[in-house]
Amino acid sequence: MSAEPTHYELLGVATDAPKDDIRAAYQDKLTDVRDHRAHEEASKRPSDSVIQAARDEEGRLRAAWQVLSDPVQRQRYDDLVGLVPSSDGDHHDLDHEEDDDEDADDAVDGDVPATRDRSRRSPASMVTAEGLEIPSAGRRATAAGIDTITLLVLYVVIVYPIIFGLGLTGIPAVIAGIGTPLFLIVVYLIVPTYRGGQTLGKRYTYTMVVDRATGQLPTLSQVVRRYTVPAFAVVLLQQTGGLIALMYGVSFLMNREQVSLADRMAKTAVVIARYRPDRLA
């Protein structure tokens, strides 16, 4: 038998602990581990082994949180490790029913990320040192393709009727040509990503944008930083800017962990939507 602690033991919570208690324990332990790592990194003679051990511990804590924060994964984990269901019999069953109801609303509720792909890990996915499950490059490219095509269609549907239908020329036409992309970036990219971590493409491929350090929803500042370069490129360079924005968006293909230029600027990550992230204060 494995000597490794269970997720509950790792976080120091009871096997029937509610999600709020698990979240609090996770945040406390994660903070302690990070403080320990930061202290070691700032020391005169930092130990690589101690720093790596702290990173590994962060990954284990995040993996435990991702499993225990999701009712479906938690029930499967409990079955796997042979935990006896709580005496009231309602702990996981109610959560499961609520989760099924929320999944049914995924198609219309932009606030809740899609989670239908939680049943198994994709063979092509990988887990980073932070415990984040990264989707395959093809999966992420599909999401980027869906978003790009959708934005182009929306741009054509909005701009062409305005410019040609109203006969705009000169400065009004330029304003319409520049203002529309900015409007679409805000409405289609920034707002949905901030509210639920997902654009249409990410919902369709069951991926989402999260804060790389916590695995939770990014802040508004992070989301804005994520899309600042595409916005300025489109405004300042127009057609050429669109190409730059596209290259910027698919820059995740340049490295193994799929950290795009947008992710680097915003300190975010695109992960498989197996759990419902919270917005940490």
pLDDT at 58: 83
Q: Which amino acid is at 67?
A: V
Q: Note the maximum CA span of the chain.
A: 76
Q: Which of the four pLDDT bands, split at 50, 70 and 90, describes residue 110? A: very low
Q: Which of the four pLDDT bands, split at 50, 70 and 90, describes residue 187? A: very high
- Count helices and strands (H / E) in the chain: 12, 4
Q: Which of the four pLDDT bands, split at 50, 70 and 90, describes residue 79? A: confident
| DSSP bridge partners of 134 | 126
27-70 pLDDT, tens per residue? 888 888 888 888 888 888 888 888 888 888 888 888 888 788 88
Q: How far apart are CA 224 and CA 231, in angstroms?
A: 10
166-180 pLDDT, tens per residue? 776 777 776 777 778
Say if residue 281's pLDDT is above 60. Answer: no
Q: pTM (2 decimals)?
A: 0.58
18-35 pLDDT, tens per residue? 988 998 998 888 888 888
pLDDT at 122: 43
Cβ atoms of 133 and 277 closer than 8 Å: no
Domains of the chain: 7-104 (1.10.287.110), 133-272 (no CATH)
